[in-house]
Amino acid sequence: MRPGSFGHSVQTMISPPNRWRLVKSVLFFGIACGILGATIGSAFQALTGARLAAMIGGVPLAIIGSLALGWYGFLFGSVNRLRFGEMLGLVLGLLVGGLVGSVCGLIVLTLPSSLVGALIGGILGSNLTAQHRPSLSWESVAGFSSWLSKGTKTPLGSGQSVARSSAYLRGSGLGWP
C-alpha cells in the first residue's frame, strides 16, 4: 500500500496541538508546584527534623510508586506500542510517590501540635460562642468533653449554659462535684 492511499475523512478524538493550552498548563502546574515547594521548603527551615521526616516518608513511597507505575507503564507501553512506557511510568511514580511521601512525613511531624491546637481551639470556641460568654472553668471543659462523648449537635450553644451543663454532669455520675 502506498502511504497516500488512505482517505482523509478519518476523525480522531485527539484535538490538534494548541500553544495556548500548553502555556496554560505550564503556568498552572508551575504555580501549583511553586506553592507546594514553598510550603515544603518553609517546613524544612522552621521545624527541626523536617528533612529526616520528609526522607523517611518520601523514599519508601517513591520506591513503591516507581515499582507500581513502572509495571503499569510497561503494560501501557506494550499495549499502545510505546518504546519508553516503562520509563515514563517509573519516573512518574518516583516523582508522585516521593512528593506524597514527603508531605505525609511532614504531616506526621506536625500532627501532635495540630491536635493540641485543635483541642484548645475547640474549648475556647465553645466558650466564645456561648450566649453569655462564661469564664473558662472546669465545668466548661467537662461540658466540652461530655459533648465529645455524647455526640450532641452543639456543646454549649443554643441557650444551654454552663450551670445546666455542670448540673447534667453532676447527675450523670461522672464524679464531678
Sign of the C-alpha dihedral computed for residues 60, 62, 65 and 71 taken in this order: negative
Q: What is the pLDDT of residues 146-163, one digit of tens each?
A: 655 655 555 444 445 555
Instruction: List, as one string, the DSSP characters of 51-88.
Output: HHHHHHHHHHHHHHHHHHHHHHHHHHHHHTT-TTHHHH
So what's the pLDDT on residue 79? 87
CA distance 82 to 76: 8
CA distance 109 to 1: 64
Q: What is the dihedral of CA 49, 118, 147, 165, to 10 degrees?
A: 120
Q: What is the mean pLDDT of the chain?
A: 76
So what's the pLDDT on residue 30? 92
So what's the pLDDT on residue 176? 47
Cell numbers that stand for 105 in this block: 512525613
Q: Among 63-77, 88-102, 121-135, 152-166, where is mean pLDDT lowest?
A: 152-166
**Which residues have CB under 8 Å from 53's CB, separation 6+?**
47, 105, 106, 108, 109
The pTM of the full predicted model, rounded to 2 decimals, is 0.53
Average pLDDT of 134-148? Answer: 59
CA atoms within 13 A on the CB side of 23: 3
**Which residues have CB under 8 Å from 65's CB, separation 6+?**
93, 94, 96, 97, 98, 100, 101
Cβ atoms < 10 Å from Cβ of 25: 10
